[in-house]
Structure formats: C-alpha cells, structure tokens
Structure 1
C-alpha cells in the first residue's frame, strides 16, 4: 500500500495533508464559524434567544458610540505610532548605515525591542510608568521636579500617547531594518556622482535617499497602521481590560468575553479584519511593486 501511494501522484498531497488539517481546523473553520456568529443574535447569557438577524450586528456597530470612542482611541495611538515610528526608524537606519566598528553591535541592540514578546514589552513599560514607584517618577523625585507621584496612565489621552510610544518602541526595529536594507540597495555610483557634484550629506538624504525610499516608507506606514489597529497585549499588561481609552481590540474583547455577546463581538472582529485586510492588501501590493522594480 505504501509503495502504491509513493508511485502515484497523490504522494505529495499525502505529505501536506497534516498541515492542511491543522490550517483548516485552527484557521479556516474558526473564520467561517465567526462569520456565521456575526450574522446571529447570540448571547451566552441568553442561549435560548439565539437567532439569525443578518447584518443587524454590523448596523448596530456603526450606531454604537463606544465603537466611535474606540475608533478615536485607536486613531490617536496610530498617529503617535506613525510620527515616532517613521521618524525614528529613518533616523536609526541612517545611523546604522554608516559602517564602523560598533555597527553590528548597535544593530543587534536595536533588534531587541522587536524580539521581545508584546506582553513582556508591556510589563517593562509598566514598571517605568508605575504611578507610585515607577522609574520615571523616581527620576523626577530624585531631581526634585515633583513632590507627588504622577499618575501617568490615569487619563485617557495621556495613556493613549504612552501606548503609542510603547508600541512604537517595539515596531521601530523592524521598520529600521526594512529602511536600512533599501538604503544599502541604492547603488554606490549615485552617491559617488553626488559627491563629485559637491552634494552635502543633507542634500544626499533629501535628493537621493528620501525619493528612492518613498515606496518603502509607504510599506512602513501600512505596517505601523496595522500594528496600531491590533494593539492588545501592551494595553492589557499596562492597565488590564479597562474601559478608559480602550482601543479596537480591547473593545472587541470586552464585548465578546466580558459581556458574552458572541454575535456582536464576531461582527466587530470581522469589521476589524476587513479594515486590516484592506491595509494588508495595500502592503502586499507595494511589496510586489517593489519586487518588480528590483527585477527590472
């Protein structure tokens, strides 16, 4: 039997069958099941009232004031993330592009925040912004700048700015590597010709590096936006599942698992998924365009 299978064209498919089973059972099946849930009135607190309601959950989402609050909160996190992520990624990539004895060491250090799990990242920053004895408050006490602890995470917009800083700290290394790789891909002849024409370092950055990195910057912006939409672990590690300043993913979690509104929470999941899907499509489209440029 084993010899017969090997001699037929089914043998390659038999080898990938376990992987297909795992993908179908852990990815495809939950996606389809969530889609059906999103079209139903389904609360675990009212299991016998479950019924099909079509797109009503999606209509209710856009009528819910909490949805727009989560949208504003997420947008603020994304704004901070984009400002810090794009600027610092480009700055660090320019620093690492200059070859010296400690370039490899600096590159390894720069990757550390990206390598840390998001929960660990959140816990580290929790000790930094802890209201009573956090690192920043200790510094302020040491230099006699304050006489009482600052409650960094107790205000909505202040905490959202901090969340943006924390997520940016994790996202910057990947964006830096992406920009650095594309800077190194720029032919040296272009820089040599610019030097012959008397171009300064600033002029090289302005007239050579920035224009040639424009497609890469668009990829970086898309990636940072996706990260901002899906921020979850850092928020939970810092403040738990509180309502104040909750972004999309916490709003989704609270509706689904705190209020046991499975149908409504599934609709939120699909709304976020569709949004991320559009951004993901843009991300892949720019990657493909960049790859075709290299092939030419």
Structure 2
C-alpha cells in the first residue's frame, strides 16, 4: 500500500475531528476550567482559581435542592403520563383502518413543533383570565372567576409535566408502534387459538417483547424531563416558583452572570446524567444476560 493511501483516510476525517473538537471537546474543557474559578461578569477583574469551592457552594444552596425536587416532580408526571399514553396511542395506531396513516401523521405534529411554540400554545390554554380552560369552566358554571393555574408551585409543575408529555409522547408512540409492527402475527394467532383474550395477549406476550422499547422510552422521558427549558420560559418566564434544574442553571449563569458557579452546576448535571447512563448500561447488560439464560 502506498504511503498516500495510508495518509488519505486520516486527511478525510480531519474536518470531522476539527468540528468535534471545536463544538464538543473545547466547550467541555472550558466549562471545567470555569467551574474551578471565581468568575463573575460583574467582577471581571476579580477572577481567580478557587478549586472545588463552587461545587461545595452548590451543596449548600437550598435553591439547588429545590430545583432538583421540581425537576423530579416533572419527571414523575412525564413518566406516568408519557409511558401509559405512548403505549395506548401505539395500540390505537396499530389498528388496521383507513385512517391509520392520517392518525399517525397527526400524532407526530406535537413532536414536530418547536418547544417554544408548544409552550405558547399551552400558555393560551392556562392563561389566568382569558385561558381556554377557564373559559370552559366559567361557561359551564363550575367556577365564578379565573383560576390562577400557574401561581401554585405544584400545580404548575404538574402542568409542565403534562405539556412536556404532550411533546414527547408522539416520538415514544412511534417507537413502540415500530416494534409492535415487527412482531410476527403468528404469535398472536397462536395465542388466539389457545383461547387467550386480548388482555392476556397484551400482558403475557406484547409487554414482555416490548420491554427493551419501554426502557428506551423511559430513558427518553427522563432526559426530556431533565432538559425542559423552552416550555417553562414560554409559559411562566424566568420566575423562581417551580424553577426546574435547567432554568436554575440558566439563571445562575446568564441572569446573575456567575459563570464559574453556573459552570459547576452544568458539571453537576453531567455527573447526574452520567450516573443515570451507567445504570442504564448495567440494566441493559443484565437484560441481555437474562435473555441468554
């Protein structure tokens, strides 16, 4: 092999390597350096290395734990609503009807819309005075005045979980639907011959086969819950009540101009996601070992 032939592949991948280094590795390294510094844009001449002090301050910050709890509530709502409705919608779309293709296309619309647009749409629904829900309740005589849906911390977090579920359910439904379509019909036909009802076909055949798909769906829902940001800003702005983790990070970095502290928060999120990823990989390995047995 000529020397040029050996060098050419490395030359061809150089643009890709340059993009990865510039857009991924360099920001990661720079954020790590910032997280070890006292770096406030309001005090540019007081910048200095303080080691792990930013990380220590995070664990002393009550707002950090509040943001984690808020994010946990959103994730809980998304997991319950998203998992149940994703599977239900997948079963509905799996029915062979003339409207199946149209319903599938319509189901994808919430996922295709930008998160900010989703937030604005739901803002009109839950607007305190002229929102759609308040109008419906008032016209039915259920309430006498406007309900301030977004002024309560826990109600607003549940609403955020519902909004996020509405956005991610289409993708999860299509993922489950694709795996349902891949299951041979002979399995269900044999179960029908043996007298198995639809309930037991779903419980004893469909759900065990779809277990890997549900794992992917759950991971996707958790990541969506952790990374929720645009819907929150579009719905309630940058307020403190019901502040999830990503909004807490953004406020510390860009609202309070505390770049060092905000960078440390970003790395804390990286550690949390890394731990979840590690558990996810361990779980997949366990599932594969059980399948071999």
Distance in 1, matches of 2:184 and 2:130, equals 51
Q: Which moves more between the two structures, 272-281 or 209-218?
A: 272-281
Mapping of residues 134-213 of structure 1, within 5 Å: 134-213=131-210
Selected match of 2:271 from 262, 270, 274: 274
Q: Judging changes above 3 Å, is the alpha-carbon distance between structure 1 residues 283 and 103 closer, same or farther for their aligned structure 2 residues?
A: farther
Q: How does 1:216-227 map to 2 (within 5 A)?
A: 216-227=213-224
1:264 aligns with 2:261: yes
Q: Deviation at 1:275?
A: 1.5
Partner of 1:124: 121
8 Å contact 1:219–1:286 — kept in the other structure? Answer: no
Q: d(CA) in 2 for partners of 1:103 and 1:286?
A: 35
Question: Within 5 Å, which residues of 2 pair with 1:1-296?
Answer: 7-283=4-280
Unaligned runs of 5+ in 1: none
Alpha-carbon deviation of 1:236? 0.5
Please say if residues 45 and 260 of structure 1, whose CA atoms lie closer than 8 Å, have aligned partners that are also in contact. yes
Q: Which runs of 5+ in 2 are unaligned?
A: none
Mapped to 2, the partners of 1:34 and 1:146 lie a distance apart of 50
CA distance in 2, matches of 1:20, 1:70: 36
Q: CA RMSD in A?
A: 2.3
1:178-226 alpha-carbon deviations (Å, 9 max, x no partner):
1112222222221111101111111101111112222221221111111
Distance 1:256 1:85, change over 3 A: same
* TM-score, length of structure 1 as denominator length: 0.91
Whole-angstrom distance in 1 between the partners of 2:163 and 2:282: 28
Q: Residues 256 and 112 of structure 1: is their aligned pair in 2 closer, same or farther, counting only changes over 3 Å?
A: same
Deviation at 1:284, TM superposition (A): 6.2
- Shift of the 39–168 alpha-carbon distance from structure 1 to 2, 3 Å rule, reads same
Instruction: Classify the secondary structure of the residue corresponding to 1:43.
Output: coil
- Change in Cα spacing, 1:70 to 1:293, as seen in structure 2 (3 Å) is same
